[in-house]
Amino acid sequence: MERIGIQKKQGSVVEILKNEILLGNIPSGTEMTQNELATSLGVSRMPVREALILLEYQGLVDRLPNNHVRVSQLSEEYFQKIFEMFLQMEQDAFLYVIKEKDELPEDEMNFHRFLYENYPYSFQKKSMETVVEIYLSFAINSYSYNKENWTELSKAIKDFQSEKDQNKLHTALEQYYKEILKTIMKESV
């Protein structure tokens, strides 16, 4: 495996590997060992082992026997299934939170964080946090992300607050996540 580069001062091993995987620099299906990754990153095996545990939890790698891992099959269908599930959870969280809070954050990432932070159900909360902090943050912070996507969703949220039309909200969320999916697929090529 070629050296990924000395980036540890710029971010954690988890962040480096996450970005390399999501950008497609470590392609789906690639098998690696902890030793190879440690050598490539110029770190000891311990931070690599800890990073791989987190990356497995986040759905980016699959653990194999003998300290091997394989990058998950990150296809369009894979991301589509994540966002279909997440759309429903986020809509439920929004409907719950809107009853409790008057003000919603204007910033895109803070809005998504606000929803999972204020949702009372632990499993859904942790699942939402994972999707927001891994997949959404990757897309939103990507060069190719169209910021108008958030503008449209933000408008639909404000409309919902006055009209209470759940169908319009659901449609707006569907469109929003289609654009997020397009961004991820563009970036990971």
Q: Break the chain into its structural domains and give their ranges.
A: 13-71, 76-187
pLDDT at 5: 47
Separation CA 38–CA 67 (nearest Å): 12
Could you tell me the CA-to-CA distances from 8 to 46, 123, 129, 162 in Å, in that order?
Answer: 14, 31, 24, 47
CATH number of 13-71: 1.10.10.10
* pLDDT recorded at residue 66: 86
**pLDDT at residue number 9:** 37
Residue 3 pLDDT greater than 60, yes or no: no
pLDDT digit string, tens, across residues 84-100: 999 999 999 999 998 87
Which tokens belong to 101?
Answer: 């809070």
Q: What is the mean pLDDT of residues 55-74?
A: 92
Average pLDDT value over all residues in the chain:
89
Asked if 125 contacts 97 with a C-beta cutoff of 8 angstroms, the reply is no
Dihedral sign, Cα of residue 76, residue 24, residue 135, residue 180 = negative
**In the predicted model, what is the mean pLDDT of residues 32-49?**
92
Compute the average pLDDT of residues 67-92. 94
Asked if residue 178 lies in contact with residue 186, where contact means CB atoms within 8 angstroms, the answer is no
Q: Residue 181: is its pLDDT beyond 70?
A: yes
CB 28 within 8 A of CB 19: no
Residue 11 has pLDDT above 60, yes or no: no
* Two tokens, residue 140: 């939103």
* pLDDT at position 7: 44
161 or 16, higher pLDDT: 16
Q: What percent of the chain has pLDDT over 70?
A: 94
- For residue 146, pLDDT over 90 is answered with yes
- Residue whose C-alpha is closest to residue 86's, from 185, 178, 188, 186: 178
Instruction: Report residue 189's pLDDT band, with 50, 70 and 90 as the boundaries.
Output: low
* Percentage of the chain exceeding pLDDT 90: 77
